[in-house]
Structure 1
Amino acid sequence: MSRLILFNKPYGVLSQFTDRSTDGARATLSDYIDLPGVYPAGRLDRDSEGLLLLTDDGRLQAKIADPRFKMAKTYLVQVEGDADAGQLEALRRGVALKDGMTRPALAERIDPPALWERDPPVRFRKTVPDCWISLTIREGRNRQVRRMTAAVGLPTLRLVRWSIGDWTLEQLEPGSWRDAPPPSAPASRRR
């Protein structure tokens, strides 16, 4: 039976078990998870927070991480600026980035979510408004959400991946993890 781990990755933690930098001083998954044989299914940038899935099953890892399976990933994004209908519609249609058009996304403005405090906190400026959006994508280019919001004039201040497929961060504090049942295999077809 394969193992699936849900981990709430804190800000500043690498999505790998070792730090290959010259000083090796950055926080990694090994600072939080001491389980042999599990590996991240996809990645989350060091300056992003939230749900990271780990598994010991190579097929499951590929299904979660590979964009061809189009698994939905939902992000709660604090952006600089006051997101308007035109900017949200641009995200919904797809955004032109240097590496091509993104697929259409689900995008909506949301109330500030009840999240944990980030360390370090997001810089607050009295003269610059900010707001939160929920953005669901089905691909996973490098720093895609940050590049999408910037392309529509809403630079990202804080980025929290809330869900991947049906798995969510609910009741999972930053730096903690729990086992989750892997997805059930589809029933075989009868002939």
Structure 2
Amino acid sequence: MNKKELSLEQQEELIKILKARFEENMHRHKDIEWNNVQTKLESNTEKLWSLNEMERTGGEPDVIDFDKELNEYIFNDCSPESPKGRRSVCYDLEGLESRKKYKPENNAIDMARDMGIELLTEEEYRSLQELENVDKKTSSWVQTPSDIRERGGALFCDYRYGKVFVYHNGADAYFGARGFRGSLRV
């Protein structure tokens, strides 16, 4: 069996979880029909594997939009706080390797790539916050423009005082309450 493949039983269980979350959170996807989402999911088993990784690491993925032009459903991590299984990581490998001591086990960019997902952009993060407020106690790395990254920095966001804040840190920083949120197109 391919590493990035779920058994039929695992696929069925994940679809059951995703359907329940979808039905409990209709405010995230008002004009989207679950049957259409399920049909897409069942024909994209590698994407199901990625969604399972999002679920396994605490992201609580859910449909947040449909791209009509590309005919793709967009899933985001919708957990109330930054996914627990993806915290305490540097921004990228360069940041991780630049640490002299107390290196974390991983970094956000490589974890997302290995999961088959993308870190949210600042714009995507703000759009998610319009659906519901997340990261009230935690924060999440977001895609960082190359000119900031070239200077050693990386961006992260959170929600405090009724507003979305975008901050910067060295890409080598990591904190127990900072992880990352991902996006997947199916």
With normalisation by structure 2, the TM-score equals: 0.29
Indicate the structure with greater helix content: 2
**RCO higher in 1 or 2 (8 Å CA, sep ≥ 6)?**
1
User: Counting strand residues as a fraction of each chain, which structure ranks higher?
Assistant: 1
Structure possessing the higher radius of gyration over alpha carbons: 1
User: Normalised by the size of structure 1, how large is the TM-score?
Assistant: 0.29
